[in-house]
Chains A and B, each alone.
Chain A
Amino acid sequence: MTETPAPMPAPPGSTAAGLVHDGAGPRRLHGAGNYLAFVPFFAYVGLFLIVPTLIVAVGAFTGGEGGFTFDNVSRLFTDDVFVSAFIKSIQLAIGTAIAGAIFGALLAWAVVRGDPNGQLRQLVVAASGVLAQFGGVMLAFAFLATFSAKGLVTLFFINVLHVGSPYDSTWLFGLTGLVVVYAYFQIPLMLIVFLPSLDGLRQEWYDTSASLGGGSWAFWRHVGGPILAPSFLGALLLLFTNAFSAYATAAALVSQGSPIITLQIANQLQSEVVLGQENVGKALALGMIVVVSLVMAAYALIQQRASRWVR
């Protein structure tokens, strides 16, 4: 279904148009001319996306004095700081992806079970659209307003319950804080990605399952679960890349050190360059590209399977 876009030029339409413009000249002769129209697009994307990526890829293997070297890349595996940053980034991404996927899927289910075109659904979808993008500085501030020493929840414990704060607010500024805060944009993202697959579950399948005596457990175990599994996995991978790539939230929240890889890269960009290590940042960036590309490739594979059942 994705193969043929709906508005494919139909044969009758094309002959009628052919009579009028371009002479009766068959379009195929103008093939090369047709492709000229894509030049601006490819030039633009090439200059501002492909070239920077190439600069990263080439720079990762270039020494401080120029010339080919493996030094930068090998530091990704030998330098403890970088190794630990990569591991922490991956752990953070896996943890928040799983949490976001589970809660997001449950939320999507709870919303879909209601009126598919109702107010609740429209509101939740619109809100999720905003909240999924609501990363960064603003999100960090929202959690500061909630859990910092002067935050709403902390003050609630102190002033209303008179029990004193049950936690030390510094958790918010470390990895624990990142997990809690990242989950905030992962859940809405999961909802947006997963909702269409839930829509694909047909009423007939529920009915058939029920008429064969299956309860809701049997339905999810034998029908719904297997059908949704590829979409769920795909969404999980998407959430992983989302958390893995995130920088702004961490930059605004983390107060000490640079525990994750995006912060390390920013460090490399901002700090004074040590002689001979100009391109370490590019090697780190290349490492990120490799991780994300692998995950996205898996995502594309899974997506092909998933699309079989959606519609």
Chain B
Amino acid sequence: MTSPEGASLGAAAPKGGALLARPKGAGRGRRSSRGQLGARIAILVVVFGYLLLPLIAMLEFSTRGNYGSRSLDSFAAIFSYPDLIDGIATSLEIAVLTVFGMLLLLVPTMVWTVVRVPRMRRVIEFMCLLPLAIPAIVIVVGIAPIYHWMGTTLGGVGGSPLTLTLIDIILVLPYAYRAIDSGLRTVDVATLADAARSLGAGWPRTILQVIVPNIRGGILSASVLAVALVLGEYTISSLLSFDTLQVVIFLLGKRDSYVAVAVALSALVFAFVLLYVIARFAPGAAGRPQRAPEEEPAP
């Protein structure tokens, strides 16, 4: 560190503060930072342009009226397609079931690794990240015989689209694991559990009333990610012939592309608002800046 001034600036803005810290150099430094600003703006404009253009096009496309006017008819028409409403309802039901199933499966297991058997942490993590290495379409190929069997032997229950929940829970594991794990890291779960147990609480009560409230940020973001994944899931439902939201949108696109685009845009905005709220307000949430050295990707 060359000057105390530079040190204090560096400390105040430990990361990404170069624009502040640079000018202490000379004209050269200042010039380079102006160049940097230009480069930043150019990059932001180009990449945002590419990312925003299709969204703007969706908005423009779905609000086209007759003779160049604007209208919201396509959005209103959403409600005149009963298939679509059914698809939305089915997907929402699956989403809710997936959230509960995922939490029921993951939270006790992960709490148990922290409290009792830390050496299993690695194994559980590996299992949870496994779906990233097995493409969804491969799961379909392997699971189709199982679903065929369920459909023929379990009757109405086995053939219901809600059975998709079983696979969606698997698909959401990598993301849910990350989210809950970052929640668990922020509190001393072992001490909490010991305290609750020593006061006479059983395990169910310890987990539900003591640990869950303390990791609600992680649970919330895991749930949101699960909802987003289920609402966007197409591969598995279409290949197993279940009419979920995305399958219906796809079919609708062949009949009335304007309404289909309107639905797609609405679903996207819904997901964005959900995730933005989480990123803003939940601790240990998906987009938290300083943490998570290694986040994981999309299917």
User: Is the contact region of chain B dominated by helix, strand, or loop, or is it mixed?
Assistant: helix
B43 contacts the other chain (CB 8 A) = yes
B105 touches which one: A44, A246, A311 (CB < 8 A)? A44
Known: A7-B114, A152-B56, A199-B289. Is A238-B47 also a contact (CB below 8 A)? no
B162 interface contact, C-beta 8 A: no
CB atoms of A142 and B142 under 8 A apart: no
Name, among A21, A48, A143, A252, the residue most crowded by chain B CB atoms within 10 Å (CB to CB).
Answer: A48
- In the bound complex, residues from chain A placing their C-beta under 8 Å from that of B297 are 132, 189, 192-193, 238-239, 241-242
Residues from chain A with Cβ under 8 Å of B141 in the complex: 52, 55-56, 265, 269, 281-282, 285
A141 near B44: Cβ-Cβ < 8 Å: no
Least Cβ–Cβ distance between A256 and chain B, in angstroms? 15
Q: Verify if A178 is at the interface (C-beta below 8 Å from B).
A: no
A250 to chain B, nearest CB (A): 10
Contact B29 A210 (CB under 8 A): yes
Across the interface, which residues of A come within 8 angstroms of B40, CB to CB?
109-110, 113-114
Chain B interface residue count, Cβ-Cβ cutoff 8 angstroms: 119
> Which one, A20, A125, A151, A187, contacts B198 given CB within 8 A?
A20
Assembled-state Cα–Cα distance A285/B137 (Å): 8
**In angstroms, how far is the closest chain A Cβ from the Cβ of B162?**
15
Q: A51-B142, A126-B287, A138-B268 are in contact. Are A107 and B47 (CB under 8 A)?
A: yes
- Given A122-B287, A282-B141, is A311 in contact with B293 using a C-beta cutoff of 8 Å? yes
A215 near B: Cβ within 8 Å? yes
Contact A292 B142 (CB under 8 A): no
**Beta-carbon contact of A133 and B137 below 8 Å:** no
Chain A 282-311 interface residues, beta-carbon cutoff 8 Å to B: 282, 285, 288-289, 292-293, 296, 303, 306-307, 310-311
Once A141-B261, A145-B54 are accepted as A-B contacts, the answer to whether A9 and B16 lie under 8 Å apart by CB is: no
A37 touches B294 (CB 8 A): no
Q: Using a CB–CB distance below 8 Å, which chain B residues touch chain A?
A: 1-2, 6, 10, 13-19, 21-22, 25, 28-29, 32, 36, 39-41, 43-44, 47, 50-51, 53-58, 60-62, 105-106, 108-109, 112, 114-118, 120-121, 124, 127, 130-146, 166-167, 169-170, 173, 184-191, 194, 197-198, 228-229, 232, 234-235, 238-239, 246, 249-250, 253, 257, 260-261, 264, 267-268, 271-272, 275-276, 278-280, 286-287, 289-299
Interface residues of A (CB under 8 A from B): 4-10, 13-14, 16-17, 20-21, 27, 34-35, 37-38, 40-42, 44-45, 48-49, 51-56, 59, 103, 106-107, 109-117, 121-123, 125-139, 141-146, 150-153, 183-185, 187-189, 192-193, 195-197, 199-204, 206-207, 210-211, 215-216, 238-239, 241-242, 244-248, 251-252, 262, 265-266, 269-270, 281-282, 285, 288-289, 292-293, 296, 303, 306-307, 310-311
